[in-house]
Every structure is written in C-alpha cells, then in structure tokens.
Structure 1
Amino acid sequence: MKRNWSKPRGKAQIKKTRNNDVDSEEAKLSELLFHKSKNMSEKLKSQDDLNSELDLKPAWVDDDDLNQMASNPMLKGKAEYADKLKQKFQTMMGTPSWAKIKPKTADEDTDNILNRVGHLESKKRMQTGTGLKPKVLEIRSVQDANVETKNEGPNIYCFEFHPKLSVTMVGGSSGVVSLLSISVQQNKKLHSFELKNWEINIARFTPSGTHAFIASTGPYRQYCYYDLVKAVPEIIDLPNLVEYINNFELSRDGKYIAICGGFDEVLIFSATSRELIRRLKNNSNIVSICFSHTSEQLYCYGTYGEVTMWDLSTFRSYRKFYDQGCVNGSLITSSPCGRLLATGSGEGIVNIYQTSALKESTTYNPEPFHVVSSLCTKITGLQFNASTEIMAIISNVLPSAAKLVHIPSYKIFQNFPTQERDIGLLNGIGFSPNSGYMGVGNDKQRALLYRLKHYKNY
C-alpha cells in the first residue's frame, strides 16, 4: 500500500489564501462604492507627477509653531498622526477634483505679466478706459493697406478689420473687394474679387471671421455672402419687400441682419437661415440703424432725430426720445462696452448719451451726456474703438474733415489730422480689434493705414 507523501497544507499557505480573498473583496467593494477603475499605483504615480510639476510650497511658515512643536512632544505626535490620516485618506479615496491644483497655463502667465508690466494694457485696464492720455495721440502713418491693388475704385467706402487675423477688407466704388494682409513693415494682397455693377458701401466680418457680408446701397435686392476659407462669393437674393438698401447691419453676435430701405420699416433676417424674422414699423423714415453691444437691442435713428429703441427678444419698442438739437439726422452708433450711444446730425453735431440714463428716464427730450461740435458739416462716419477710449468722427463734405475724441475726457486729439497733409475726402473709418491700427478710406483710391502706438496688439 502506497502512502501519499505530499506535503500537508501549512498554516502559512492558508493565511496567504485568506489574505488574497480579503484583498479581492476589498477591491470589489471599493469599485462598487467609489467607482474606482484605475489601479492604486497609477493614482499615486499621477499624484506624484502632479506634485512634482507644481512644485508645491507652503505660502508661509510660522517659526513659533515650529518651536512649540519641537518643545512639546504631544503636539509633534498630533501632527504626525494628522499626516498619517491624510496619507491614508488620499491612498484610499484619491484627491477630489475640486481640491486639485492645476498647473499654470501660458495664458495665465501672460495675464500676470499684463497686470504687472506698466507699458502693456491689461484686460481690466482696457475695459475701464483709463490708460489712454488726452490731447496728443501716439499715431503714425504707415504704408497704405491697398498699396499693391489700387483697383477698388476712386472712392474707398469700406475699411473692415478681421476679428482674429491681421487682415483687412477694402471695398469701393468699382465693385472690387480686396483682402489684404497688414503690418507695420509691408502690406500684401491676399485675394481680390469683383462684383460687377456694384458700388461696395458695406462690408462686415462674422464674429468667427470665416465669412463676410458685403452689400451695396441703392436699388439692389441682393447682398454677397463671402466664404473666406473657400474664397467663393455667393449672391443672395432678398425678398420683394426690399426695394432699396439704405442700411445693412450685421449684429455683433452674428445672428441677425437688419435692412432698411430709407423708409419707416426695418426688416430683421436670420444671418444663418436667411429667412425673414420680423418687420419693425417705425414712426418716421429711418436714416441709420445700429445694434447694441449684446445684440439684444436695435436703435433706429429717424430723419428728424427721433430715436426708437427696440427689444429684439419681444420685437417691441420700449423707448423713444428726440435727439436734442437735431434738424437732420445722419448716423447712430453704440459703443462696444454698451455704456454710450452716439448720434451724428447733418449740422455736424455729435450727441453722446449714457444708455443707463436713457433706460431710467422717461422724458421725450433727454439731455445728452456730452456734445461734440468740432465739425460743421454732415457727419458721415462715427466709430468707437474696441476699448471705448477713442471716438472717430468724419465728414465727406470737406477735405480732411475728421476728429478723434478722447473718452472719458471728451477732448479732441490735437495731432490728427495733421494740417500739412491733405488726406482728401474721407468716406469710411475703422479700428482693428485691439485698436493697434486705424484705417481710413478716401476719394483718392487710398486705404490709409495708421498705427496707434499706445495699443501694443493688432
């Protein structure tokens, strides 16, 4: 009879098996309760990597606490016990997402630099409008934006800057639209196309910068939708309701198109679907329209100075007032910050209103916050820069009829335009997104470009 000489199961093997069962049960329970899918070693490794990248250090160290802990063993023991509890909690549970410290990005470092370096403009400083000094503007004339083309027509009406790239769109009386790359050293032509029998008066980039809307004032029932990526212009037909385009405006958020034919009605279209949304009936014929900074309101400026404020969420007028001293209305525009509304008349007067005061007041003849009377001819151009520190006023009736107004002092910059240089009749004006450049179109085929040195970016 053979005996089985195999080794009996020892206590050590039984204990090891029980530990494995316990570990597996704990792992299942941890996954069930806390949905932990990663291994503990991976978590610890990622946590160590994060701490090494951040190089965390205490914000300050109290010497008195260290001395008391060294002299009192009880405090030292409590501190060690707290550290063990913290380590055990992090090992079992991990660090919560709200308690994780993310490493600084390049944008955050840039913001810190902008907040500390004096000659650069921080975002907060740009919004408050306190960085630009009045009286003298640091401005320099650079090479014309259309130096390589000069075929947009004798009159340059459009000078629109791209919202994200150092590119401008120039259009004029010949129907040619040019996309130009601009810089201080050299300006180059990127692309040009022609819309036959058109006189380009209006050009607007979409907020994304991938498309542009181009229109011509006059008896046209069409506008151009230009794809910058494919470099393909598309002609869009308007409904028969539009007989004459006097105003064509794209909302700042790119959702609406407002078209007015110079009568008492404004048509609101969807910029994406191109469908007619609503017809707004005004009390008088309209000469100018503009959207608010949030695109939630529409301002209509009547022939005799009546301003109607429309709420685009309900498409109802909520405020009407008469522009003080206006005999013949000309232009209306709102500031990018939303605090100011400016009107220009045929007599060369520019009235500036505070939108907050207009909402609170119910009078039909509110007092303007400030009046600018530096020009004596019809206002044909009115534009704020991005930080609402400069307001540009132009008139195409007399040569070199232009003024730049400092905000909030409302003083005229004395060094623009220069007296020794005739820049001709000015038809259109615009500022780049960060106000580094200003563009002016005249009646001599020139798209004049200026560098504003106070602003460091395009």
Structure 2
Amino acid sequence: MAAKNKSKKSKSEVNEDAEIPLPNEEEKYLEKLVFGDQEGFSNSLKQIDRLYDEQEEEGEKGEKLFIYDSESDDGYLSKMKNREEEVDEGNEEEEVEDEFSKLNDDRLFIDDRDGEEDKEEDKEEDKEEGKSDEDVDEDAMDVTSDSNDAWYDSDDQNIEVSLASSDKLRKLKATENEEKLKGNRYILRLRAQFERIYPRPAWADDYEGNETVKDDTTDDINEHKFDSVGDKSTHTHISASSNPLVDFLRTNQSYRLSDKNMRLLSPEKIDITRLVDANIKNISHSAIQTMSFHSTHPLLLTGGYDRTLRIYHIDGKHNNMVTSLHLRNSPVQTAIFNNSESTDIFAAGRRRYMYKWSVSNGQIEKITRLYGHEQTQRSFENFKLSPNGEFIGLIGSSGWINLLSTTTGQWIRGFKTEGNLVDFDFSTSSPMIIAAINSGGEIWEFEVKTGKVLSRWTDDTGVGVTKIKFSGYNGNDRWLAVGSNTGIVNIYDRMKGNKLIGCVENLVTSISSLQFNHDGQLLCIASKAKKDALRLIHIPSCKVYKNWPTSGTPLGKVTSVCFSPKSEMLATGNEAGKVRLWRLNHY
C-alpha cells in the first residue's frame, strides 16, 4: 500500500512540473473565432461609431444596414449598400407601415360602399311605398349618429325585419301597407315605443346638465290636500346638490294650519283610506323606532336601529326619499324635527350623547356632556322637544328631567320627581308645563320657566305606567292620556280638575305608543308586543272605532305612530321596517 501511494504521489508531482506547449496557428485561429481578440474588439467599436455617424448624415437614404458576417475570416461587422431602387421601395413600404401603425384598430377597415348611392336607393324605395321626403329623412335617421350610444353595428342597415311576422311587431307600423323595416329604422321604432310606455325619467335630464327638474309629484300634493300658502299649487323641485333637503325646503311652498273648516268627528265610524307606504322607495333594515312629520313641509323623518335617518317627501303616491344620514355606531331610538324657524333634526340612541343635524349648513354636531349633571343622565335615547323648539327634555335617572337648549346644547334646568321616572310630556299652553309620571303612577306638573311644582296627583291605575301624553295644539291641552303595561289607557279632562272621563281596555299588552291628533279629537294607541295591536279612539266620547282597523288591515307589530300636522295622514311604523300610510278623509 505504501508503495502504491508513493507511486501515485510521484506521478502527480510529474504532472505539475510538466510544461504546457504554446498554441499553434490553428488553435489561435479557433480561439479568435470563439472569443475574439483585443484588436478585433477595438475595430468593432470604431465600426459602430462610424455607423451612427453615417446614419445621422444619410437620414432616410437607406444606407444604414450593417450585417455581421460569420463566414469571414476576421468576423468583423461589414457594411453593405442596397441598390437605389431597393432602397426607395423599402422606404415607401416603411412609410406605409408607419401610417398604419398610427391608426386605431377600428380605422384599419373601411366600408367601400358609396353612402350617397345607398341614401338615394333608400329614398326611391320609400317613395315607392308612398312616403314623402320628410318622412324618409326622419325614419332613415342613423341611430349611430348619437354619440352617446354605447354600441354601433354597421350591419343594422343591411337587415330587414318583417313587421307581419308577429302581432307585437305589427304595432310598429307607421302606415297600413308597411311590411318591412330596415334595421336602423326598426331600432328607432322600438326606441319610440319604449319611451311612450316608460317616459324619460327626470334624473336623466338632471344628469345632462339641467339645474332643477320638475317632479311628477306636483299634482299629488294638491290631490291629498297639502294646502299651500296663499292657496297656490305646490311644486316639487329636486336638484342634484350636496344638500337636497335644503333645496327642498327652499324651493317648495309650505302648508299652514287652519281652523276655518274644523268639524267634529263622528264617534261611530272613521273615514280612512290606505295610501302607498311612506318608505316604499327605501325600506328600513330594522324596525321603525321613531317618526316625525315636519310642521310646515310634507316631509317625514324615520329612524331605527339600522343607524340611518331617512327623510321622505310624502305625497301619498310616490313618496320619494329626499335624503338620508347614517350615524355610525349610534342606533336611533328617537329622532325629531325641530319645528322652529331653522330646521334642525335631533337624533339619539342608547348612548351618552345625541346628534344635532343642522339642515341649513349641513353640519352635524354632538351634544355630549351636561357639565356637572352627568350622573343624572346615563343615556340620551328618550327625549322630547318643546312645542316652541327651544328646549330638549331628557328622561334621566333617579327621577330627573334634564332640560337643554336646542341652540347651544347646554344644560338649563332640572326637574326632580320621586321614584323612577317613566315618561313626561310638554304642554302647548302658556306658561308651558311639563307633566311627568313615575313608576308608581304619581303625576307631577312643573312650570318650565320657574321650575315650580304646580300640582301632584295619582293615576287611577297606578301600576305599570308606560306612557303619558298631552293633547291638542296652540294651548288646547285639555286632555291627558296615561297608558299602562296591561293595555289600559286612562283619559283625563284637565279643565275639570284632572277628572277621569274614559278608560280604554281594548288592548291587553303593554302600551308603547300614545299619540293625539292636532285638534285632540283622535287618540291612537298601539302596542308593539302583539301583531295588529292598534286602535283609534274618539275624544271625548272615548269610544273605539269599530270599522278600522279590520282583520285584513296590514299593520304588523306597530312600533311607532305619528299624525301629520293637520291630521290629514296617519303613519304607522312596524317591526318589518315599513311605514304604512293612511289618509283621514275627514281632514
């Protein structure tokens, strides 16, 4: 083994010491062909520089082709000139190629037919059918001339459509003897028939640049007795501005309350008609928790747990949505129009703040703190506005009612009752009064201006009280209604020392809604705990109307009720997110 290793070592040492012979001419030639040499590389650079110089001088003469000759001995780039005729032909071909490369794809193909000859042939055919030149020009209008068309097919004018092939196509005939139509005329006839069935929408004109478009709901307001100021017709304009509600209030005339034709309602039968749902154009995604009519304009505000306020223009037929506002992270429990001179909207849910939407400038602000009275107000979800629009009343904790300013949002005054406060309401009389009721059925009456307690008395039921409500407007607060969780509603006459004049026992579940109409002749009571649990009560007889609602009235579980300012309409919101609308024909 040692001898073998020794022999291997000596052989490797011999290989390292061996001399490598110099390459011969053939090897140098092959190496030069594969790798080149320094002299060839320098000459190539010179040739390339000369190439660029000659191209700049010669321009478009065609002497610009350099070819690498792999068969030559030196392997350099050689320059070859084309013949003058070949150069000229090559330049012409390149110019044509450049022209076509600049064209769009749709212009690479042309119709070689003569358009004038086609028009003359069309006119001659139409004259044979008995049409005048004016009719021919009108019908032969190319539908592709409208630059707004999204699609154009040049084969349309080559297609013939038989009008006698079906009954539907016979309606497209302009004359009795007309049997066939060319494709472009057939398109025009179809378009004209479609526009007769479905008229051009107002938003299309508005999109094309018109500032205001007259809506087709103009006559509906007059039809449903939304009286305008000065007995003039009401016009509705919808514009594409960023604040459509402001434009609506500015461009539409309002109606006003009037007692000239006030008549007494019959206690036996109510004349009521169902209208199109108020929110048919945009149904809520949750139950309707609150509704409010505008005092001077035909607008309805709705809100719910889908965190969205929606405002509808109520005309009884179309009920278009004017605008909407999404309140992030704030489900809406109460939302009210402020019926003062400046139209503001207040909305709140189970949060320690409320929103104020100033419609005039589009600003939204939060009313968050009561500055020293935070412990008495855990949530802003239950609040009411005073009839004059000056105050916000909040149902607080520990029997407190907190009064805020609608303009500044600052705390003004607080009213304290014993026990747990259940509900309260503002009167429209002067001086303004707040009637508050606690869980034990005790009713407290406070004077808003001074905060004094005017009276304190107890409801006859006295157990499970849920709601309290004043009646009337313009100081007519004669009636006071109190609802309970057993479905009983007590009605009191305040002019006779809060005397009980009626007890309604038609419902058996908790009263969730109490609403008087504007003149105090109707009281609507409802319970959301049971389907179709709604009744209309005549005041002062306290009789429930038997002819409405019926077993077929589609009320659902009523979560909110609201009368329009002149009682011409009654709106009922249900758990399915729909607002049913009813017309009270007496008003």
TM class by shorter chain equals 0.5 to 0.7
Deviation at 1:262, TM superposition (A): 4.3
Q: In the alignment, is residue 271 of structure 1 matched against residue 406 of structure 2?
A: yes
Q: In the alignment, is residue 305 of structure 1 matched against residue 441 of structure 2?
A: yes
- The CA distance in 2 between the partners of 1:166 and 1:414, in whole Å, is 29
Q: In the alignment, is residue 234 of structure 1 matched against residue 365 of structure 2?
A: yes
Computing the radius of gyration over CA atoms, which structure comes out larger, 1 or 2?
Answer: 2
Q: In the alignment, is residue 433 of structure 1 matched against residue 565 of structure 2?
A: yes
SS of alignment partner, residue 299 of structure 1: strand
Q: Conserved in 2, the CA contact under 8 Å of 1:160 and 1:205? A: yes
SS of alignment partner, residue 496 of structure 2: helix
Q: Conserved in 1, the CA contact under 8 Å of 2:309 and 2:324? A: yes
State the Cα deviation string for residues 373-415 of structure 1 (Å, max 9, x = none). 1111111000000111110000001001000011222221122
Out of 252, 257, 269, which is 1:136 matched to?
Answer: 269
SS of alignment partner, residue 368 of structure 1: strand
Deviation at 1:310, TM superposition (A): 0.5
Q: Which residue of 1 aligns with 2:478?
A: 339
Q: Which residue of 1 aligns with 2:181?
A: none
State the Cα deviation string for residues 37-58 of structure 1 (Å, max 9, x = none). xxxxxxxxxxxxxxxxxxxxxx
Out of 269, 278, 286, which is 1:145 matched to?
Answer: 278
SS of alignment partner, residue 495 of structure 2: helix
Out of 440, 445, 459, which is 1:323 matched to?
Answer: 459
Instruction: Please give the residue correspondences for 1:14-413 in structure 2 after superposition, counting only pairs within 5 Å.
Output: 123-124=259-260, 126=262, 130-150=263-283, 152-208=284-340, 210-218=342-350, 220-239=351-370, 240-241=374-375, 242-245=377-380, 247-294=382-429, 296-336=432-472, 337-358=476-497, 367-413=499-545
SS of alignment partner, residue 451 of structure 1: strand
Aligned length: 328
Deviation at 1:245, TM superposition (A): 3.1
Question: Structure 1 residues 140, 262: closer, same or farther in 2, change over 3 A?
Answer: farther
Deviation at 1:274, TM superposition (A): 1.8
Deviation at 1:108, TM superposition (A): 9.7
Q: Conserved in 2, the CA contact under 8 Å of 1:213 and 1:223? A: no
Q: Conserved in 2, the CA contact under 8 Å of 1:159 and 1:429? A: yes
SS of alignment partner, residue 356 of structure 1: helix
Deviation at 1:217, TM superposition (A): 4.0
Deviation at 1:124, TM superposition (A): 4.9
State the Cα deviation string for residues 216-273 of structure 1 (Å, max 9, x = none). 342x121111122334432221323422235301100111111123431111112222
Question: Which amino acid is the alignment partner of residue 142 of structure 1?
Answer: L
Question: Which amino acid is the alignment partner of residue 280 of structure 2?
Answer: V
Q: Structure 2, unaligned stretches of length 5 or more? A: 1-227, 233-256
Q: Conserved in 2, the CA contact under 8 Å of 1:331 and 1:344? A: yes
Out of 419, 427, 450, which is 2:582 matched to?
Answer: 450
Q: Which moved more, 1:225-234 or 1:311-320?
A: 225-234
Question: Which amino acid is the alignment partner of residue 221 of structure 1?
Answer: R
- The CA distance in 2 between the partners of 1:200 and 1:107, in whole Å, is 33
Question: Structure 1 residues 225, 252: closer, same or farther in 2, change over 3 A?
Answer: same
SS of alignment partner, residue 165 of structure 1: coil
SS of alignment partner, residue 423 of structure 2: strand
Q: Which moved more, 1:221-230 or 1:162-171?
A: 221-230
Question: Which amino acid is the alignment partner of residue 450 of structure 1?
Answer: W
Deviation at 1:107, TM superposition (A): 8.3
Q: Conserved in 2, the CA contact under 8 Å of 1:211 and 1:225? A: no
State the Cα deviation string for residues 102-134 of structure 1 (Å, max 9, x = none). xxxx98999xxxxxxxxxx971553xxx42212
Deviation at 1:209, TM superposition (A): 6.1
SS of alignment partner, residue 123 of structure 1: coil
SS of alignment partner, residue 543 of structure 2: coil
Question: Structure 1 residues 255, 177: closer, same or farther in 2, change over 3 A?
Answer: same
Deviation at 1:349, TM superposition (A): 1.1
Q: Conserved in 2, the CA contact under 8 Å of 1:247 and 1:289? A: no
- The CA distance in 2 between the partners of 1:257 and 1:429, in whole Å, is 21
Q: Which moved more, 1:336-345 or 1:377-386?
A: 336-345
Question: Which amino acid is the alignment partner of residue 292 of structure 1?
Answer: S
Question: Structure 1 residues 230, 246: closer, same or farther in 2, change over 3 A?
Answer: closer
Question: Structure 1 residues 441, 317: closer, same or farther in 2, change over 3 A?
Answer: same
- The CA distance in 1 between the partners of 2:540 and 2:451, in whole Å, is 33
Q: Larger RCO: Structure 1 or Structure 2 (Cα < 8 Å, ≥ 6 residues apart)?
A: 1
Q: Conserved in 1, the CA contact under 8 Å of 2:310 and 2:325? A: yes
Question: Which amino acid is the alignment partner of residue 283 of structure 1?
Answer: E
State the Cα deviation string for residues 276-313 of structure 1 (Å, max 9, x = none). 11121111111101001136111111012111000112
Q: Conserved in 1, the CA contact under 8 Å of 2:421 and 2:438? A: yes
Instruction: Please give the residue correspondences for 1:411-422 in structure 2 after superposition, counting only pairs within 5 Å.
Output: 411-422=543-554
State the Cα deviation string for residues 39-81 of structure 1 (Å, max 9, x = none). xxxxxxxxxxxxxxxxxxxxxxxxxxxxxxxxxxxxxxxxxxx
Scaled by the length of structure 2, the TM-score of the pair is 0.53
Deviation at 1:448, TM superposition (A): 1.1
Give me the CA root mean square deviation.
2.2
- The CA distance in 2 between the partners of 1:133 and 1:146, in whole Å, is 30
More helix by share: 2
Deviation at 1:197, TM superposition (A): 2.1
State the Cα deviation string for residues 84-106 of structure 1 (Å, max 9, x = none). xxxxxxxxxxxxxxxxxxxxxx9
Q: Which moved more, 1:231-240 or 1:326-335?
A: 231-240
- The CA distance in 2 between the partners of 1:209 and 1:158, in whole Å, is 22
Deviation at 1:340, TM superposition (A): 0.8
- The CA distance in 2 between the partners of 1:262 and 1:376, in whole Å, is 28
- The CA distance in 2 between the partners of 1:233 and 1:450, in whole Å, is 33
Question: Which amino acid is the alignment partner of residue 379 of structure 2?
Answer: Y
- The CA distance in 2 between the partners of 1:149 and 1:108, in whole Å, is 33
- The runs of at least 4 consecutive aligned structure 1 residues that moved more than 6 Å come to 106-110
- The CA distance in 2 between the partners of 1:107 and 1:235, in whole Å, is 35
Question: Structure 1 residues 108, 227: closer, same or farther in 2, change over 3 A?
Answer: closer
Scaled by the length of structure 1, the TM-score of the pair is 0.68
SS of alignment partner, residue 544 of structure 2: coil
- The CA distance in 2 between the partners of 1:246 and 1:108, in whole Å, is 39
